[in-house]
Chain A
Amino acid sequence: MAEPLLQIRDLTKTFVTPRGTVRAVDRVSFDIPRGSITGLVGESGSGKTTLGRTLLRLVEPTSGHTIFDGTDLNALDAAGMRRMRRRMQIIFQDPVSSLNPRLTVGAIVAEGLVAHGIGTARERRERVAALLEEVGLSPDHMSRFPHEFSGGQRQRIGIARALALEPDFIVADESVSALDVSIQAQVLNLLLDLRARRDLTMLFIAHDLSVVEYLCDQTVVMYLGRVVEVGPSRDLYTAPAHPYTRALVSAIPVPEPGGAGARTILRGDIPSPLSPPSGCVFRTRCPIAADVCAEDPPVAVRAGPDHIAYCKKIEAAHDLV
């Protein structure tokens, strides 16, 4: 198998807050294969956004590494990181409202080109026009302001901006979460087209597992800062190995009357990230937790080809197979 584009190793990000220390991302390791779309799901507060930013080194990790195309990002100096940065982009949750409202769409999309001193003003205009067309907008939109656009169009603007530097890798943080389904489908199909056309690798952060199953080749599930399961999206959906993933899959409302099967309803809420449970962080809500689960964190267990889960009870299940 070809070397993955990204290898994330024991990545940890801790925030010290007045109320205590939060391990927002805790010893996370997984690979992102070249040309794949990897989905990252988990309930809000599970650490998805922090992971997306930390692995790009937009936020410095507390410890751990991201190896990008063979280079350890965390070993690069500022100049080296700046050169590398062109190859990786992030689309923020609301890509446009976080920017200066007085910038035109053209200026927003061209920002990276300007920052890296790419092209003349005229060449940049041409580039921006082509990018807007590629994401399904019109070059005439260049001189308009972002607030004139709908949610779906804003996502397209964010995508055009991320593509401007022709990156190899894009992190898309909740790019479709706020959109109505009919518009969501437009954006998902655009991402699929771009991946095929530009040979992109993507990390797609979402909380809707059905969307991730549609779009992503591989899915990573997080809970309270930890990865609990990684595997091919289809397998993870049809044969989830971790009890949390199983509950997540079974909680999805099925658009078919009488279609919802027997459901595992999790009791209680996610514990406070300020005082996560010992051992397996999921154990306070886990329907099959046992005493051993409180002892130390579970290690990775193979659940299938390219499929691993972190759960003490899985090994036992696999001995039977």
Chain B
Amino acid sequence: MSATAASEPVLEIEGLRVAFRARRSAVTALRDVGVALGAGRTLALVGESGSGKSVTSLSVMGLLPRNGAVEAGRILYRRRDGTRVDLARLDETRFRAIRGREIAMIFQEPMSSLNPLFTVGDQIGEMLLLHTDLDARARRRRVIEMLELVEIPAAASRMNAYPHELSGGMRQRVMIALALVCEPALLIADEPTTALDVTIQAQILDLMRRLQRELRMAILFITHDMGVVAEMADDVAVMYAGAVVEAAPVATLFARPSHPYTRGLLATIPRPGRPRGERLVPIPGSVPALSAMPPGCAFAPRCPIAVEACREPVALAPLEGDHRVACHLAHAHETVAAHG
């Protein structure tokens, strides 16, 4: 673990701030987001809806909606040739050489990447036409190879199907094939299994793990499901209200969750096998609106252990090794220990 952590990350986001203009005012959707993703590893971004997971991924892809902009920070991506570029400041022409080719993305809803008017074979072929110099025959062979790679039965005939002729799970596979056809170094997966039934989710997660091993790509895996995190991630960043509140290797995060929000999140999950009648402990209240963020720690109004100091802003800071937490009390604890 330390060997890969020491090697240079593929993706390093530093101090990312993203704002959206609304009719009269502006809202800050990401505040000082910082995460790092090592080559061939999986970093999970986990958090409830509205916490800023999709905005983070769209920032990396350079696909923020028109009313949104990166206001501060860097998104450093290490290219295949070893050079580093700041995706937050890359012009669109240069971005096109990276997007889809080195960095690809899959979504919850496959139809957001698939065109209903073309066969799935044509769509994958189009990617090859755009990004490679393969001739028509080689492209056709590669399309079939890709569909087989994602375990679509009877690939040679299925390539002639239109997206609507396929089941939900099958469409998800086609979207993955489309994303992986150029063998990207970085795959961004934004809740790719959230809309699927659990038995189909198991198939897709299994497939993604296999493809990651074979293609040695790094995955930024976005989910709201702590079970999926435990299963897929090497490292985890927990997001709340537009900021990373805790980041750690997956085993550390589950063994020693140190932010009250992370602890709360883990306590709200129904876990089979708990003693009958033992109740879940919900987190009281709800996530604040972007336009009404509390001034200090954004979690303070819902936090069971908040104190006066929590009204002051708090940044993500190292706790121990790769474990970082943005909580006044997590660090206060440490200071006490250090002095005592």
A binding-site residues for B, Cβ under 8 Å:
43-44, 150, 152, 180-186, 188-189, 192, 207-211, 213-215, 234, 237-238, 247-248, 250-260, 263, 265-270
Contact = CB atoms under 8 A, between A and B. Distances in A.
Closest 10 CB pairs of A and B: A253-B227, A214-B270, A185-B282, A182-B283, A180-B48, A43-B197, A251-B202, A185-B268, A185-B280, A255-B226
Contact of B254 (A150, A209, A256): A256
Given A207-B197, A210-B271, A192 B279 contact: yes
Contacts of A184: 268
Given A254-B230, A255-B229, A189 B271 contact: no
B197 to A, nearest CB: 4
B24 interface: no
B240 to A, nearest CB: 10
Interface string B206-232: 100000000000000000111111110
A257 B224 contact: no
Contact of A260 (B153, B198, B231, B282): B231
A133 B282 CA distance: 18
Contacts of B280: 185, 188-189, 214
B119 interface: no
B108 interface: no
Contacts of B274: 214
B169 A269 contact: yes
B273 interface: yes
Contacts of B283: 182, 185
B99 to A, nearest CB: 30
Interface of B: 48-49, 153, 167-170, 197-203, 205-206, 224-231, 250-251, 254, 264-266, 268-274, 276, 279-284, 286
Contact of B230 (A215, A234, A255, A268): A255
B230 A256 contact: yes
B167 A255 contact: no
A284 B162 CA distance: 24
B222 to A, nearest CB: 14
Given A43-B199, A180-B48, A268-B153, 14 more contacts: A183-B282, A186-B284, A188-B280, A192-B279, A214-B274, A214-B280, A247-B199, A251-B198, A253-B227, A254-B231, A255-B254, A256-B230, A263-B202, A265-B199
Nearest to B264: A182
Given A210-B272, A214-B270, A265-B206, A259 B167 contact: no
A263 B199 CA distance: 10
20 contacts: A152-B286, A180-B49, A180-B224, A182-B282, A183-B286, A185-B270, A185-B281, A189-B282, A214-B272, A214-B280, A234-B276, A237-B272, A251-B198, A251-B202, A253-B227, A254-B230, A254-B231, A255-B266, A267-B203, A268-B153
Nearest to A192: B279
Contact of B203 (A183, A234, A266): A266
A210 B199 contact: no
Nearest to B169: A269
Contacts of B224: 180-181
Contacts of A208: 198
A268 B225 CA distance: 24
Given A181-B268, A237-B272, A254-B230, A207 B198 contact: yes
Nearest to A152: B286
Most buried by A among B264, B266, B281, B282: B282
Contact of B250 (A152, A257, A263): A257
A251 B201 contact: yes
A236 to B, nearest CB: 10
Contacts of B250: 257
Contacts of B226: 181, 255
Most buried by A among B153, B170, B271: B271
Contact of B272 (A180, A213, A248, A269): A213
B109 to A, nearest CB: 15
Contact of A189 (B231, B265, B276, B279): B279
A248 B48 contact: no
Contact of B225 (A185, A253, A259, A267): A253
B270 A211 contact: yes
A200 B230 CA distance: 36
A210 B269 contact: yes
